[in-house]
Amino acid sequence: MIQRCFIVISLISLLAGCASHRTTVVLVPDPQGHVGKVAVQTQGGEQLLSESGQAVIVKNEKDAPAPATKFGDEKIRSMFGKALDAEPPVPEKFVLYFKIDSTELLPDSAMLITKIIGSIRQRKSFDISVNGHSDRSGEDAYNLDLSLKRAAYIKELIVKEGIDERYITTDSHGEGNPVVPTPDGVSEPLNRRVEVIVR
């Protein structure tokens, strides 16, 4: 009898599975309080969400999504509470600036090293990224090399403070990830930087 029940139940869920796979998407403010945009697409059409708490339900892949509705905090909490509680803290980012064409830190940036070590210890982080970035003056290859040297130097400083080097990855983003987008050949001090991300 128990076995028969089991079969019936799994058949129902199998049928339900084939028929629907219902998807619900809710737009909420990001950690900075900013509300972005999201487009939910099916074969039948698209629904755009652009306001906080706006939600769309998709019943299947063929039909167009239902018109957007609004979800209250209570409903969001009851549906997504566990997933929201599992959200890791947003990684902490430190930006270090250098003298032009050099691996020497500007004085204000040199003071940040202590704060970086504090953050690593407090979070018990074993996932630290040290990424070198350059501006767009000079040759690509030279910039890539310089920003890698800067990153390696910062890693050295962090390791000197007793952090295990296995937890640190260095990389060079070269000109490809600027803070201030500029045309090629432009010297921009805000782009000449190393970003340390403590996760």
Partner 1 sequence: MKMKPYLCILILCLLFPALSQGAESPVGSIKTLEGDVLVLRGGQSIPASIGMPVFQGDIIQTPASGSAGIIFRDDSIISLGPESKLSIMEYVFEPKDEKFSMLMKMIKGTFVYISGAIGKLSPDSIKLETPSSIIAVRGTKMLIEVKG
Contacts with partner 1, residue ranges (CB under 8 A): 13, 17, 20-31, 34-42, 49, 58-61, 65, 76, 79-91, 93, 126-127, 129, 144, 171-177, 197, 199
For 168-199, the DSSP string reads: EEEEEEETSS-SS---TT---GGGSEEEEEE-
Q: Which is nearer to partner 1, 36 or 189 (CB)?
A: 36
Which one, 49 or 154, has the nearer CB to partner 1? 49
Q: How far is the CB of 19 from partner 1 (least distance, A)?
A: 11
**Between the CA of residue 154 and those of 111, 113, 131, 169, what are the distances in Å?**
12, 9, 9, 11
| Nearest Cα residue to 196 out of 71, 96, 60, 107 | 96
Least distance between partner 1 and beta carbon 191 (Å): 12
| Beta carbons of 119 and 174 less than 8 angstroms apart | no
**Structural contact between residues 136 and 185, judged by C-beta atoms closer than 8 angstroms:** yes
Residue closer to partner 1 by CB (options 30, 165) is 30
Cβ-based nearer residue to partner 1, 47 or 109 = 47
What DSSP state is assigned to residue 133? E
- Least CB distance to partner 1 at residue 39 (A): 4
- Nearest approach, Cβ of residue 53 and partner 1 (Å): 10
Closest separation between CB of residue 131 and partner 1, Å? 8
Closest to 59 in 3D by CA, of 81, 78, 44, 37: 44
- Cβ closer to partner 1: 24 or 103? 24
